[in-house]
Structures are given as structure tokens and as C-alpha cells.
Structure 1
Amino acid sequence: MATIGQVIFRILIVIIIVLVAVIALIIGLSVAGNRTTNDVITVNAVGQIGEDVILSCTFTPDLQHLSDILWEKVGDTGVVYKYEGGKTVLTNQNPNFKSRTSLFLDQLSVGNASLKINNVQLGDAGVYKCTITNSKGKGENKLSLSVGAFSPLTVTNTSQTTLRCQSPSWYPEPTVSWLNAISGSVLTSFSTRYVPGLSSMVEVISDFSGAEEEKQYRCVIQNNLARAEGDAILTVTGLKTQTRLTVFSSGQITSPSRLLWCLLILIFHLGAVNL
């Protein structure tokens, strides 16, 4: 005979299952008109101001017929790029993307519909939609493009007890921290300057005072797009350094309906284990 706790647990499981099923049904109905067998996969991207970026979009290739490719930016009028009937059609292109976008046309046959945007600017940030249409049906997916600036850093010593951490281009304005690289403890005896540059970017200059020989220090510069680190040791023979730059990038966007169905399956599994 089930205990009161088991009964309550079963009731909660049933309520959660019903709620998730209802939400999944509502979302599923809302996208039913676009559901096809054409699986489109996109990956979020990070772009550097003034450089080129590639928005990844892949699909199951159609070996018998040409695929039509449509790129749009959510919230903007006009298309970002359109490829239809075997040729580029840009009569309705948003002027912000004029002469700045292209596909890898030689790779369409293998399912690569990725878009290249030249000279990325802050205004290019946003959500993009890649739509593929061919004999397999119509499929689409979205990705997020974040735009900013980040650059590797250098660590030098301006005196026998002062280390300087410097990096030329960041946006948004990053935070700076100094650490004991071995223990991870936070250091406070430093000062940081942000020097204005082009396109809203800033140069970062941070000086740490009180450095001791044979101790390993770490400078960290970070914003929501990237993290630059530099380790330094003052020795009797000079300064030894090592630096690295990590760019953050979100993974593939999963549709809400797919995510909810995965959650529903997990709940059923948990319920089966505990009932």
C-alpha cells in the first residue's frame, strides 16, 4: 500500500505531465504550418566589429532538385539574402546588407546554406532566420548573432614590482581582475584605465602593483562575448608570460516544442522509476 508521500508524489507527477503536455500541444499547433521533413540546423554566432562573420545553417541536401535559401533578420524589413531558382534574387534586400552578404554557392549541394556577412557592425546584432525550401518541404531555424569587440592581451612589467595588462579593442566595456594564478585569490592593488577608440571600442590598460618575484599572477579581461587571460611571473632573468583568448558562443538553438517533448519524456521516466 502506497504511503501518503508516494501518493502526493504521484499526484505532482500527473499535474506536471498534464501541464507540460498542454504547453507542448499549444506550441506544436502554433508551428504546425511550418513543420516539414526538412531539418534545418543553425548555430549562434559571435562577430567582431569591422570583420567578417559566418552564420551557420545546414540542411539535408536535395540531390534531385535545387534548394531555395532565404535569410531574414527578425524585426527588419526586406531580406538579408535570397537564393531562388538557382540564382541570387536581391530585389527586396534590406539596404543595410547591400553588397555585404553572400552564400557558399558551391556548397549548397551538400547542405551548407551558411551566410557570410562582411564588415560586421553593431547594428547587425540580432536574431536571424534561415529558411530552406525544396522537394523535401520547407524547414527553418533561427540563430542569434552577437556583435562586439575583443582582443588578446599582453602582460609587461613597467617596474620591478608593477605588471601591466593591456588589450587594444573591447566592446562592450569589459571588467578587469587580477588573481594569484596558483591559489585563485583575488588581488586588489591595481588600477584600470579605459581609453576610447573607434566604433565605441575601448583600449584596456591595467596596472598591478606589489608584484613579487617567482609568484604567478593572472590578469583577466572579460565581457559577455569573450575572456582574455594572461599569466606572468617575474624572475631574476626577466618576465615570463602566457596568454589566451576564449570567445563565448552559444550552441544550437532548439525549438521550444522539441525541448518540451524532451522534458516530457524525462518526467515520464522519473515517474516510472518512482512509482
Structure 2
Amino acid sequence: MELHIDLHRLPETSMIVIIILLIAAIALIIGLSVAGNSTTNDVTTVNAVGQIGGNVILSCTFTPDVKQSSDILWEKVGDTGVVYKYENGKISLSDQNSNYKSRTSLFLNELSVGNASLRLNNAKVADTGVYKCTISNSKGKGDNKLSLNVGAFSDVTVTNNNQTGLLCDSPSWYPMPTVTWLNITSGDNITNAAETRTEAGLNGAVEVISEFKRIEKNIQYRCVINNNLARAEADAILTDSGLKTETRLLILSSGPMTSPSRLLLCLVFLSILLGAVNM
């Protein structure tokens, strides 16, 4: 026999009891969260995208402690050893993972204002992964994670090829990108009418060369090259006075990694309670 309780048919006193219990549960969640934050550093990180062979900043900020120097620990999830350690006012790299030797540094003069960001030089595809920044001082201990993706991406140039075609060329992409052609004037996707090829580039990347041959005057065309890291676009229009172009490169990032908010936790708990009542 199935027992089902309809909230709308409960006596008024029962409804009041349930509401009081729900309010008490929410207050407990908020209280525990506030109590926890009073002894734990508020650490904020932001996901990052790096160019192969270039330098990338892994952002990590915290509430500074004016009473004492903060200890900073950077680790990569799944790796042994540390990426970087600053402890008791000194750089401590005795247990640093060899993959990061001579490639990492902090902005030491900015630790006092809460900047624990890590500079990673000569980025490699193997550096891709999840990193954790941990801060310890008299306020307590706090940490947060960020995701780093390393690849290749570059601006695209567009030229008028043989007077009847448009040629898009971008020298460095990894992972392998997709290429899309659009007729902006009509709104049509014209990719199938274009020819695209790749050639070997530097550092394991590829050069992308794509041509659309049947251009018309006073029609605006767009060439788009993108992978999961970046998106390059080139707009072009051929007029009686010549070819006019505009290009742009957008680096893609998923933004900061954050913990669930107190409000979200309360809503989840509330839904669980309501579900239990209605069973």
C-alpha cells in the first residue's frame, strides 16, 4: 500500500511544523557555511588557455594576511611532486616535479596584496590539466582549482586570389580546427563550395589554408577557423575599389572555477526535503 501525503491537504498545524523545520535546516546550512569561511582563505582561480611555446599566467588570488607571510602551493592534479612552493617567506622547490624545472615563478612582490598567480614559461601540450592553488596563513587554509588548456591558434589573413576567389591562411593551429565559410549578406553556409587543406607547422601545429573560388562583388564573406581553444574570423568584401577585410581572434575560456553557492545548497536541500514529504 503506497502512502502519499498531499501538502495542500495537511492540517494547518502540520504545515507550520514543516515550514519551521525547513527554515531551521536552511539556517543551519548558512550558519555552517559562514562558520567554515571564517577560518578558511577565500581563494579565487580562473581557467587559462596557453599557446604552445609561449608563457601563460595561472591566476590565483586570495585575501592577504597583514600579520604574516602566506605560504603558496601549486600542484597539478594527477602529478607527483609540486609545481611550485613558497613557504616561510622562501622559495622551496626541493620536491618540484622535474617537468616544471626553471619554467615557473610567482609575482613575489604582489603576494602582500593577495596575488598568488603562477607564471608558466614555454607552455607544452603536456601541461594541459587541472591545477590547484593552496594558500595557508594565520587566517587558515584555502584552495581552489583551475583548468589549463595548451594548444596553438593564430590570426587569419584573407586575400583576393586570382581575382575570383578568397584565400584564408592561418599558420598555427592545434588541436586540428574546423573551417567554415559564410555568406554574411545572404546568411548562407557556403563551406561545401570551399577547398581546405592543412600543412605541417611549427611545434606540432598545422597551417590552415582555405579557398572559396566563386566570389561576387559587393557580397560580404566570412572565413571562420576554430578549435576548442580559439576562434579566428576574417570578413571580406570585394568592391570596385578593391578588397576590404577585417579580422579578429577570440581566445576561448570557461571562466572561473567556483564552489557551489550557499543559495544553491539551500535550494538542493529544500528540494530533497519537499521530495521526502511528498513520497
Same-fold call, TM > 0.5?
Answer: yes
**Structure 1 residue 192 corresponds to structure 2 residue 196:** yes
How far residue 252 of structure 1 moved from its aligned partner, in angstroms, is 1.1
**Structure 1 residue 136 corresponds to structure 2 residue 156:** no
How far residue 6 of structure 1 moved from its aligned partner, in angstroms, is 6.9
Q: Give the AA of the match of 1:250.
A: S
Structure-1 separation of matches of 2:36 and 2:7: 43
Q: Give the AA of the match of 1:161.
A: T
**Structure 1 residue 237 corresponds to structure 2 residue 226:** no
CA deviations 1:88-128 (Å, max 9, x no partner) are 00000000000000000000000000000000000000000
- Corresponding residue for 2:92? 89
- Corresponding residue for 2:208? 204
CA, structure 1 residues 154+185, in 2 after alignment: closer, same or farther (shift >3 Å)?
same
CA, structure 1 residues 33+127, in 2 after alignment: closer, same or farther (shift >3 Å)?
farther
CA, structure 1 residues 89+34, in 2 after alignment: closer, same or farther (shift >3 Å)?
farther
How far residue 34 of structure 1 moved from its aligned partner, in angstroms, is 10
**Structure 1 residue 182 corresponds to structure 2 residue 176:** no
CA, structure 1 residues 218+266, in 2 after alignment: closer, same or farther (shift >3 Å)?
farther
2:259 to 255, 259, 262: 255
- Corresponding residue for 1:121? 124
Structure-2 separation of matches of 1:6 and 1:52: 61
CA, structure 1 residues 258+96, in 2 after alignment: closer, same or farther (shift >3 Å)?
farther
The runs of at least 4 aligned residues of structure 1 exceeding 4 Å deviation read 4-7, 32-35, 256-260, 265-268
Determine helix, strand or coil for the equivalent of 1:231.
strand
- Corresponding residue for 2:60? 57
- Corresponding residue for 1:66? 69
1:41 to 44, 53, 62: 44
Q: Give the AA of the match of 1:184.
A: G
> Structure 1: 5+ residue runs without aligned partners?
8-13
Q: Give the AA of the match of 1:228.
A: A
CA deviations 1:44-67 (Å, max 9, x no partner) are 000000000000000000011100
CA, structure 1 residues 69+206, in 2 after alignment: closer, same or farther (shift >3 Å)?
same
Q: Retained in 2: the 8 A contact 1:59–1:111? A: yes
Give aligned pairs, total: 249
How far residue 171 of structure 1 moved from its aligned partner, in angstroms, is 0.4
Identity of aligned residues (%): 67
Q: Retained in 2: the 8 A contact 1:171–1:201? A: yes
CA, structure 1 residues 87+174, in 2 after alignment: closer, same or farther (shift >3 Å)?
same
How far residue 78 of structure 1 moved from its aligned partner, in angstroms, is 0.4
CA, structure 1 residues 266+110, in 2 after alignment: closer, same or farther (shift >3 Å)?
farther
How far residue 184 of structure 1 moved from its aligned partner, in angstroms, is 2.5
How far residue 36 of structure 1 moved from its aligned partner, in angstroms, is 3.8
User: Please, what is the CA RMSD of the aligned residues?
Assistant: 2.9
How far residue 264 of structure 1 moved from its aligned partner, in angstroms, is 3.1
| TM-score of the pair, normalised by structure 2 | 0.82
Determine helix, strand or coil for the equivalent of 2:265.
helix
**Structure 1 residue 228 corresponds to structure 2 residue 249:** no
Structure-1 separation of matches of 2:174 and 2:229: 9
1:150 to 133, 150, 153: 153
| TM-score of the pair, normalised by structure 1 | 0.83
- Corresponding residue for 2:12? none
Structure-1 separation of matches of 2:38 and 2:136: 12
How far residue 181 of structure 1 moved from its aligned partner, in angstroms, is 1.6
Determine helix, strand or coil for the equivalent of 2:50.
strand
CA deviations 1:228-265 (Å, max 9, x no partner) are 00000111121100000111111111125758416438
Structure-2 separation of matches of 1:6 and 1:207: 67
